[in-house]
């Protein structure tokens, strides 16, 4: 190997008149001798190719050198094919254990994934069952505490509490924790206080109906109060209309009660009489009265 390197180095030296052609006589080889190591002399071939390239850059072709150049050309092409073939063989052989390892690793990954999902689903199902058992215990406690507060069942259900049951709500002995009971107590106590507040309020029955919908006391009170404001406005409008109707009827009755003055017939002319009275009404109504007088041919004057 060292001898080849010396020959290649000599080929690089170019004298003024004589060019020395590099020579590579060794057989090209490549093989795997261990993991991560390939034994070859491809680098030597590479140096030979570089030197030969430099040689032919500087040489003048003559009839004498043409035959040698043609032989060299065939040799170089053969070397190229050999290097390419070794490259493919070595890469393919080198990839065999990698491919085998990769396939085994992928299969193992899939098996591990399936095993994980199996265990995970079983754990999730177990936790789900435990949570359901805890929730059942919490519901029983809720019913007992609700009864102690004299709260009718139609006013409050366990679902209304919006409690997210977790495994931490149960002790190692399988009993409800103080935290779980406290959460139920606080929410039931709040509803109890709100129901008591409602019972003291005006329109309590209506507010209670609204409150049951979503347990929002402020909204229930506002909705009922707003509703009664509207009802009161409607009532006032109705009364105003009734009063206006009575006034209109009184005016009509007053007009109808006016009797025509007695007229004494004379041979010459009828005696004209004068009647004074006040009329109260809306603008449109007074206009109607004036139109009536004019249509009947009665004279009048405005005060």
Q: Which of 23, 104, 11 is nearest to 54 (CA)?
A: 11
Tens-digit pLDDT profile for residues 133-148? 999 999 999 999 999 9
pLDDT band for position 129 (50/70/90)? very high
pLDDT band for position 67 (50/70/90)? confident
What confidence score (pLDDT) does residue 7 get?
Answer: 45
pLDDT higher than threshold 80 for residue 153: yes
Q: What is the mean pLDDT of residues 174-187?
A: 94
Tens-digit pLDDT profile for residues 3-46? 445 544 444 444 455 778 777 788 877 676 666 678 889 899 99
Lowest mean pLDDT among 31-35, 117-121, 233-237: 31-35
pLDDT higher than threshold 80 for residue 255: no
Q: What is the mean pLDDT of residues 203-229?
A: 90
pLDDT higher than threshold 80 for residue 254: no
Q: What is the mean pLDDT of residues 119-139?
A: 95
């Amino acid at each position: 190997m060292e001898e080849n390197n010396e020959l290649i180095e000599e080929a690089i030296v170019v004298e003024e008149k004589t060019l020395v052609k590099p020579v590579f006589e060794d057989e090209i080889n490549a093989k795997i001798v261990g993991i991560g190591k390939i034994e070859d002399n491809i680098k030597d071939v590479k140096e030979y190719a570089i030197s030969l390239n430099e040689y032919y850059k500087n040489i003048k072709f003559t009839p004498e050198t043409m035959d040698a150049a043609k032989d060299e050309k065939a040799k170089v092409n053969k070397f190229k094919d050999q290097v390419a073939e070794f490259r493919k063989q070595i890469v393919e052989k080198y990839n065999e254990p990698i491919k085998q390892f990769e396939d085994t690793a992928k299969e193992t990954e899939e098996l591990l994934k399936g095993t994980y999902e199996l265990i995970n689903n079983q754990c999730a199902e177990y936790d789900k069952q435990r949570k359901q058992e805890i929730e059942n215990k919490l519901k029983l406690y809720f019913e007992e505490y609700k009864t102690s507060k004299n709260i009718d069942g139609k006013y409050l259900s366990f679902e209304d509490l919006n409690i997210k049951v977790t495994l931490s709500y149960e002790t190692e002995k399988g009993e409800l924790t103080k935290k779980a009971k406290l959460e139920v107590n606080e929410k039931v106590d709040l509803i109890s206080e709100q129901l008591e507040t409602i019972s003291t309020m005006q329109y309590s029955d209506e507010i209670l109906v609204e409150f049951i919908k979503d347990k929002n006391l402020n909204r229930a009170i506002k909705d009922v109060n707003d509703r009664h404001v509207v009802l009161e406005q409607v009532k006032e409008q109705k009364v105003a209309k009734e009063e206006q109707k009575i006034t209109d009827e009184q005016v009509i009755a007053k007009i109808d009660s006016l009797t025509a003055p007695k007229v004494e017939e004379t041979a010459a002319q009828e005696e004209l009489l004068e009647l004074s009275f006040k009329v109260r009404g809306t603008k449109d109504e007074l206009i109607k009265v004036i139109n009536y007088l004019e249509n009947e041919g009665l004279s009048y004057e405005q005060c």
